[in-house]
Amino acid sequence: MTFSTEGRWSRRSTLAMLVSGATSSFSMAQAGRVGPYPFRLGVASGEPLSDGFVIWTRLSVDPADPRGGLPRAPYTVKWEIATDERFTAVTRSGEAIAHPELGHSVHVEIEGLPSGRPWWYRFILDGHSSATGRARTTVPAGMPVRQLRLASVGCQHFEQGYYTAYRHLAQEDDLDFVFHSGDYIYEMTPNEQVRNARGGFTPVVRLHSGDALFSLDDYRLRYAQYRSDPDLQAAHAAAPWFGSFDDHEVANNWAADLDQVGTPSDVFLLRRASAFQAFYEHLPLRRTSLPRNGSIAMFRRAMFGDLLQAHFLDTRQFRSDQPCGDKVKPLCADIENPDATILGTAEEAWLAEGLQPGRARWNLLAQQVMMMDLDRHTDDIAPVPLLNMDAWTAYRAPRQRLLDHIHAAGLGNVVVLTGDEHQAYAGEIRLNGGTSDSPIIAHEFVGTSISTAGDGSDLRPGAAEILSRNPHCRMINDQRGYLLCTITPESWTSEFKVLDYVSRPGSPIHTRVRFVVEADQPGLTTSEA
């Protein structure tokens, strides 16, 4: 048997397979007469290591069908890895089975490749060749790296705007990776209007298929609709991704086994299990993230030589319920609950174990909800802060434990990348929160949405008042786009890339502002673009 149940190939088994031409181990799978073009959902790579990465596709001849227009039978799909875009030098090839149990998705964990260089990959089935994707192996931990470039993206409501940001992202040179902070899909029913920042309504640009999502087929159909977008496909094909989920992959503001409308936990967990399976099926994740017993393993680390240690967090699956009735509310005593958690016990211990000096020049916390304090009052007279009870600011005890740990460990170069807000923010996180005189512990860059909330403007009404009430928050912007980060041993530069519009295709892109963190010099410096 040359194909293990983990879907992993060893070099020896691959070579043996190629030499012998053996196919008997795949007799359970159809040799493939798939008919029409089966790669309509594109390709992707993800979870890069120094010797490999995951390559992904999901077979579908009809994205409007929850089963992809395919019979319920396994298919054997060929894959190829090459050192060049034209596949003149194929370094590795093999076969993988697309199981109907997993929606005919394919996750192949490539290993044994030379480190620190680009690779190209594609899939082949029944005479059809997929689009070509570009991946990249990382530099091994501790080895010198002079520069990294990453993009941070999130919140891609299909109805509320075109994915022009992804079209531009796909043209960025040599991205080492893309981090998706969540809201890859939205679970709601179709809605012909979107509420805009001025309290009015704007027509959407396209409609969700189906209804609100509850079953596995519901979620699969929604993912397939999103994954049919050519701009999203281009962004996946351009660079390896680290995907994570926030709330809308399941249901708005869910927390562990609770939804927002009081569904009994054992009932909600059935919906969550369907959502997790569909999430796994559509992202280039490792086998370790295959859902088991209704849970999914999503917090993990990645090393990029001696330059960056990235910690990808899960702030949803293990958190305690939002305090003070959730949503945006005036500060109340429950935010100080010492028993509250946002990461859960095991993830919090895992993160503390990883946040140690000497591993890399920079530490990245790549996660979902805002970590800095933010009083959201839009006037200058209200005495009690108005807080987002879904964010770290409402989970004071676990946030303080994290900041205390970073401070005690003497880690100076910590950057937090966040999504969720549908606006961009840049700010400094101090040990005792807010604008206290305590030391700066970390720097946070909140990426805006790809499309959610539709066309924006530079500032929403009230944003100037929020900035004046929160001096540690250095920038707010309400346009759609993404965050582009360039990391060197000397500095971390974050560029806020913004679009003029998403209500029609083709917007140009600009850099709204550029922030720099100098290594070992806490604090943000800015240069207007």
The CA-atom distances, in angstroms, between 270 and each of 169, 298, 408, 526 are 36, 19, 41, 47
* Shortest distance, position 417 Cβ to Fe ion, whole Å: 15
Residue at 467: amino acid letter: L
Minimum distance from residue 390 beta carbon to Fe ion (Å): 11
Cβ atoms of 121 and 132 closer than 8 Å: yes
Closest separation between CB of residue 154 and Fe ion, Å? 7
Please, which residue, 188 or 409, has the CB nearer to Fe ion?
A: 188
Instruction: Specify the length of the chain in residues.
Output: 529
Q: How far is the CB of 180 from Fe ion (least distance, A)?
A: 11
CA–CA separation, 149 and 516 (whole Å): 14
Rounded to a whole number of angstroms, the minimum distance from the CB of residue 399 to Fe ion is 21
Residue 176 or 187: the one with the smaller Cβ distance to Fe ion is: 187
Beta carbons within 10 angstroms of residue 401's beta carbon: 16
The residues in 97-116 that bind Fe ion, with binding defined as CB under 5 A, are none
Q: Which is nearer to Fe ion, 183 or 444 (CB)?
A: 183
**Which parts of 122-161 interact with Fe ion (CB under 5 A)?**
155
Q: Of the ranges 165-173, 177-185, 397-405, 476-484, which one interacts with Fe ion (CB under 5 A)?
A: 177-185
Least distance between Fe ion and beta carbon 311 (Å): 22
Q: Provide the b/e sequence for 309-340 (b: ≥16 CB within 10 Å).
A: bbbbbbbbbbbbbbbbebeebebeebbebeeb
Is 186 or 268 the residue whose CB approaches Fe ion more closely? Answer: 186
Minimum Å distance from CB 278 to Fe ion? 17
Q: In the complex with Fe ion, which residue's Cβ is closer, 95 or 183?
A: 183
**Comparison of 157 and 300: residue with beta carbon closer to Fe ion:** 157
Beta strands in 47-161 (DSSP E): 53-58, 75-82, 90-98, 105-110, 118-125, 128-129, 133-136, 148-153
Amino acid identity of 436?
A: S
Among 95, 183, 249, 428, contact with Fe ion (rule: CB under 5 A): 183
- Nearer of residues 347 and 390 to Fe ion, judged by Cβ: 390
* Nearest distance from C-beta of residue 187 to Fe ion, angstroms: 11
Residue 183 CB, shortest distance to Fe ion, in Å, is 3
Number of residues that bind Fe ion (CB under 5 A): 3
Residues 411 and 415: their CA atoms lie apart, in Å, by 11
Which of the residues 368 through 427 are near Fe ion (CB under 5 A)? Answer: none
Helix (H) or strand (E) holding 350: helix 345-354
Q: Are 164 and 499 in contact (CB under 8 A)?
A: yes
For Fe ion, which stretch binds (CB under 5 A), given 64-72, 94-102, 182-190, 318-326?
Answer: 182-190
- One-character DSSP codes across 139-190: PPTTS----EEEEEE----TTT---HHHHHHTTSS--SEEEE-S-SS--SPP
Q: Decide: 191 and 218 in contact? Cβ < 8 Å.
A: no
Q: Is the separation of the CB atoms in 130 and 29 below 8 Å?
A: no
Of 389, 368, 352, which Cα lies nearest the Cα of 314?
Answer: 368
Binding mask 328-357 for Fe ion (x = CB under 5 A): ------------------------------
Output DSSP code: residue 446. Answer: E
| Beta carbon nearer to Fe ion, 183 or 281 | 183
Cβ of residue 327: shortest distance to Fe ion, in angstroms? 14
Helix extents (H) in 228-264: 230-238
Pairing outcome for strands 105-110 and 300-304? unpaired
Using alpha carbons, select from 161, 180, 243, 116 the residue that is nearest to residue 505.
161
- Whether the CB-CB separation of 284 and 272 falls below 8 Å is answered with no
CB of residue 474 vs Fe ion: minimum separation in angstroms?
22
Partners of 516 in beta bridges: 493, 525
For Fe ion, the closer CB: 26 or 186: 186
Judged by beta carbon, residue 134 or residue 227, the one nearer Fe ion is: 227
Closer residue to Fe ion in complex, CB, 50/452: 452
Nearer to Fe ion, 130 or 322 (CB): 322
Q: Smallest distance, Å, CB 283 to Fe ion? A: 17
- Residues 443-482: x where in contact with Fe ion by CB under 5 A, - otherwise, as a string: ---------x------------------------------
From 175-183, 285-293, 324-332, 377-385, span contacting Fe ion (CB under 5 A): 175-183
DSSP state letter for 211: S
Distance CA 116, CA 272 (A): 37
**How many CA atoms lie within 13 Å of 273's alpha carbon, on the beta-carbon side?**
9
Q: Residues interacting with Fe ion, by CB under 5 A?
A: 155, 183, 452
